[in-house]
Structure 1
Amino acid sequence: MAIDITLVGYGAAFCTTCSFIPQVWQIIQSRNTESISLLMYCIFVFGVFLWCVYGVVVKDLPLIIANLVTLILAAIILAMKLRDTISKAKNSSLRQI
């Protein structure tokens, strides 16, 4: 019995996409992004965006869905990290005054 390779794609998409949910949940609950690398998430979000574009061009639905959901989840983490980084920079500059 041959397995449809598209099912493998959907399975991979499901696993890799769902792997971000615990991280997003933890960051939302704790409001702590201190251990997250800003540069890594900037590069990662851009890379996932490019994967989305690629998926649209080649018309690969598992690739599009997985990367679109991953893009949203990673962008949430990036937005919270940027907010914390900007807030800390402002607080640091205010203390110096």
Structure 2
Amino acid sequence: MIGTIAGVLTTLSFVPQVIKVLQTKDTKAISLGMYLMSVIGIFLWMAHGYVMGDMALLIANLITFCLALVILIAKLKYK
């Protein structure tokens, strides 16, 4: 139960940033290095969830990966 709540909160924490970036196209204050490392780290957690057969870990990180990737792509696009 605690892991599910943590996964939902961690995943949803990216939504406001994605909305703001897509609306304003302003990524000046976003660290490219931080988002690059985050996307790689989230991908690795997703892979770990797959290998371990942990669907909750896999799904939460798949959604988080997609959200973080949107921000990373916007950072590179709107540089």
Scaled by the length of structure 1, the TM-score of the pair is 0.78
Give the AA of the match of 2:3.
G
Return the match for 1:78 from 57, 72, 77.
72
Percent identical pairs in the alignment equals: 46
Q: Which contiguous aligned blocks of 4+ residues in structure 1 show a shift greater than 6 angstroms?
A: none
CA RMSD of aligned residues (A): 0.8
Give the AA of the match of 2:52.
V
| 1:65 corresponds to 2:59 | yes
Q: For the residues of structure 2 that align with 1:51 and 1:78, how far apart are their CA atoms?
A: 18
Return the match for 2:16 from 4, 11, 22.
22
1:61 Cα offset (Å): 1.4
Q: Which residue does the alignment assign to 1:8?
A: 2
Give the AA of the match of 1:44.
S
1:65 Cα offset (Å): 1.0
Q: For the residues of structure 2 that align with 1:42 and 1:57, how far apart are their CA atoms?
A: 23
User: Structure 1: which 5+ residue stretches go unaligned?
Assistant: 1-6, 86-97
Q: For the residues of structure 2 that align with 1:10 and 1:44, how far apart are their CA atoms?
A: 20
Q: Render the CA deviation track for 1:2-24: whole Å, top value 9, x for unaligned.
A: xxxxx222211111100110010
| 1:45 corresponds to 2:39 | yes
Q: Render the CA deviation track for 1:49-68: whole Å, top value 9, x for unaligned.
A: 00000000011111111100
